Structure 1
């Protein structure tokens, strides 16, 4: 089987059920780490311009200091994974791209590395829609409501490999799906470190 056939076969096994919508933002609370259960990961944080906490903003005009974020990863029925992103305190009526990235947040936007992919694109940066798509990556695009709050949710048919996805990055606009641009969403505005990788 050639590499194109292998990718097509792997992609056929991937099922995503994105249900993205608006909702209330995360509750109050300080930065926190892994949830108590091994079948769940929950991180909540407040965006700051200095890294050190769970969440850092690189463009405070778009993601203000003091805005709050909550990310959840849970086992889904049938062996998949459910991801939820909640935001509060952002500008109203703004759309953000959001994806799971491979490395933890750092002082620079690029520190989070590329998107996490279930089936890795051998060509980097990955802009091929056969790899850069919401079935093979974790896409959590959202639009804030009149109060600056938003919620996004997606379920994929696979588990994150432990240690290979470490953050969620907010981007300046919705994620592109065109060939040659797939997966791109503009500048990296903010980042939240998340120790993804639930276990059965």
Structure 2
């Protein structure tokens, strides 16, 4: 099913504000809303969306990221993709740095509580409660919408991109957080 950006934004905002009644007990801080997206192509400086593997994230495919973060709400992030390989599993996570010429340039996964060991493969740190995981499976048209909700709001340290990986994320000790090759990247001003 193809959804317009306005429809996706409305759905995302409806999900993101769930629990807003708890916000009154927190200090008054304005929620931070981030939106980003683009059409995948080869990397160029300043380009919103880059593909590193056009066989799995074709040029012309699209991605949009919506994120809302505030005390009392935590952080909710949605990833909408279109035009990817149909009926395929992908991993996706928020990363610490912006997209670059290679997928590695986006740095490690963003973690609320940072693992002192890098790369992080300890499930105490590399897990969907401490990181923003957006693993998804595309439908028959290559589209998907995934939402991550974590209990913590973003502070001064923020992620800078969402990277799409070749497989769903592993969770076992010694491989936690691994999702294979970095296929594509979207710059997001979280």
Q: Which band: TM-score by shorter chain? A: 0.7 to 0.9
Where 1:168 maps in the other structure, the secondary structure is strand
Question: Partner residue of 2:87?
Answer: 93
Shift in CA distance, 82/76, structure 1 to aligned 2, threshold 3 Å: farther
**Residue segments in structure 1 that go unaligned for 5+ positions in a row:** 1-22, 29-36
For each residue in 1:8-27, what CA deviation from the matched residue of structure 2 results, as whole angstroms up to 9, or x when unmatched? xxxxxxxxxxxxxxx64563
Question: Partner residue of 1:49?
Answer: 42
Contact 1:25 1:151 in 2 (8 A): no
For 1:41-120, list aligned pairs within 5 A. Answer: 41-52=34-45, 53-75=47-69, 78-120=72-114
Q: How far apart are the structure 2 equivalents of 1:26 and 1:83? A: 18
Q: How far apart are the structure 2 equivalents of 1:162 and 1:24? A: 35
Shift in CA distance, 24/75, structure 1 to aligned 2, threshold 3 Å: farther
Shift in CA distance, 159/139, structure 1 to aligned 2, threshold 3 Å: same
Shift in CA distance, 99/106, structure 1 to aligned 2, threshold 3 Å: same
Q: Does 1:157 align with 2:157?
A: no
Q: How far apart are the structure 2 equivalents of 1:93 and 1:54? A: 25
Contact 1:24 1:150 in 2 (8 A): no
Runs of 4+ that moved beyond 3 A: 23-28
Deviation at 1:48, TM superposition (A): 0.7
Where 1:147 maps in the other structure, the secondary structure is coil
Where 2:72 maps in the other structure, the secondary structure is helix
**Residue segments in structure 2 that go unaligned for 5+ positions in a row:** 7-29
Deviation at 1:79, TM superposition (A): 3.0
Q: How far apart are the structure 1 equivalents of 2:53 and 2:116? A: 31
Deviation at 1:78, TM superposition (A): 2.6
TM-score by length of 1: 0.78
Contact 2:71 2:152 in 1 (8 A): no
Q: How far apart are the structure 1 equivalents of 2:70 and 2:135? A: 20
Question: Partner residue of 2:32?
Answer: 39
Deviation at 1:185, TM superposition (A): 0.2
Cα RMSD for the two superposed structures: 1.8
Q: Does 1:27 align with 2:27?
A: no
Q: How far apart are the structure 2 equivalents of 1:102 and 1:143? A: 24
